[in-house]
Amino acid sequence: MKLHAITRTDYKFPGQTGVYHGKVRDVYTISDKYLVMVASDRISAFDVVLPRGIPYKGQVLNQIATTFLDASGSAVPNWKIASPDPNVTIGYIAKPVKIEMVIRGYLTGHVARLYKAGKRQICGVPLPEGLKEHDKFPLPIITPTTKAEQGHDEDISREEILERKLISEADYNILEKYTRALFKLGTEMAAGKKLILVDTKYEFGYQDGKIVLIDEIHTPDSSRYFYAEGYEERQKHGQPQKQLSKEFVREWLIERNFMGKEGQVVPEMPDEFVSQISERYIELYENITGERFHKEDYTGAVDRIRKSVENFLKGI
């Protein structure tokens, strides 16, 4: 069976004044006021876009993100206006803040690799001794990164952010406040579905001088989840945690000697593994939303998206 995926779009919408093809999303600027964000099925790891798209990944990302944007809007203002198509969110344009706010509740992933290498401080935040991989931190830690247009994002401390004047102290305090509020909400929503929100990242921007949440939140591209059931038992016996995230893709690549470093070649992903990734994304959608995933028909999907966006734009 042929695996279909939306790997790129090239629209010319009415009033279009710009387009940006990101690692995963194709973002169209309309009248220098609105953004049309199309979630493709591209997948990236180690800041590299992998050669093959993952069926339904874009739909999963977009629908999870809109669920959380709608749920968090009363606590943290965001950019969203509407989602007229399963793969599309339309919102107000905002000037992006040049840092990403990463928040971690557990010693997992990147920070676990640093800890294993002997580091006991990340982004200026001290890490306690005696932790093992996937242990919970006493309190969630914020570990910001620079937002690189190309290549790898880099860890940065609060002190460096202020020293380099990437943002004012008052505005940085707002970012921290919003980050903790969003993580608390995401943690509570995940717990209600017997999941653990392990870590995630948020992006913010300025809209009419105010800081708003932009881009996606709490998706498997920006977040990591564990199953709550059996977490303590697995930790007690030093067993791997059952994850719903992109980490298993990273692990598959690492096993095949790829970590996005110069000279390394992306290993070819067989159909079976691509299907497995797709199923993992759908599994996360159904777990985190509590709703059954409806697979949109890929026949004419690119044209469907175009019509959905054009019909919505007529009304704004």
Domain span at residue 158 reads 96-247
Domain total in the chain = 1
Percentage, residues of the chain above pLDDT 70? 98
Confidence of residue 132 (pLDDT cuts 50, 70, 90): very high
Q: What is the DSSP letter of 155?
A: B
Q: Is the dihedral of CA 147, 152, 158, 163 positive or negative?
A: negative
With a cut of 80, say whether residue 2 has pLDDT above it. no
Question: Is residue 106 a part of any domain in this protein?
Answer: yes
Confidence of residue 57 (pLDDT cuts 50, 70, 90): very high
Question: Is residue 142 a part of any domain in this protein?
Answer: yes
Burial class (CB in 10 A: 0-12, 13-18, 19+), 89: buried
Question: Is residue 14 a part of any domain in this protein?
Answer: no
With a cut of 60, say whether residue 99 has pLDDT above it. yes
Distance CA(201)–CA(221), nearest Å, equals: 10
**153-210 pLDDT, tens per residue?**
799 999 999 999 999 999 999 999 999 999 999 999 999 999 999 999 999 999 999 9
Question: Is residue 195 a part of any domain in this protein?
Answer: yes
- Cross-strand bridge partners of residue 210: 207
Question: Is residue 134 a part of any domain in this protein?
Answer: yes
pTM for the predicted model, two decimal places: 0.88
**208-266 pLDDT, tens per residue?**
999 999 988 999 889 999 999 999 999 999 999 998 878 889 999 999 999 999 999 99
Average pLDDT for residues 105-112, to the nearest whole number?
95
Distance CA(280)–CA(276), nearest Å, equals: 6
Average pLDDT for residues 81-101, to the nearest whole number?
96
With a cut of 70, say whether residue 117 has pLDDT above it. yes
With a cut of 90, say whether residue 19 has pLDDT above it. yes
- The confidence score (pLDDT) of residue 148 equals 66
Distance CA(200)–CA(145), nearest Å, equals: 12
Distance CA(84)–CA(163), nearest Å, equals: 42
- The confidence score (pLDDT) of residue 153 equals 77
Q: Is the dihedral of CA 212, 23, 219, 19 positive or negative?
A: positive
With a cut of 80, say whether residue 6 has pLDDT above it. yes
C-alpha dist (Å) from residue 227 to 9, 92, 231: 35, 35, 7
Q: What is the DSSP letter of 86?
A: T
Question: Is residue 258 a part of any domain in this protein?
Answer: no
- The confidence score (pLDDT) of residue 147 equals 78
With a cut of 90, say whether residue 149 has pLDDT above it. no
With a cut of 70, say whether residue 120 has pLDDT above it. yes
CATH number (domain holding residue 112): 3.30.470.20
Confidence of residue 72 (pLDDT cuts 50, 70, 90): very high
H or E stretch at 224: strand 223-227
With a cut of 60, say whether residue 151 has pLDDT above it. no
Question: Is residue 36 a part of any domain in this protein?
Answer: no
With a cut of 90, say whether residue 284 has pLDDT above it. no
Question: Is residue 262 a part of any domain in this protein?
Answer: no
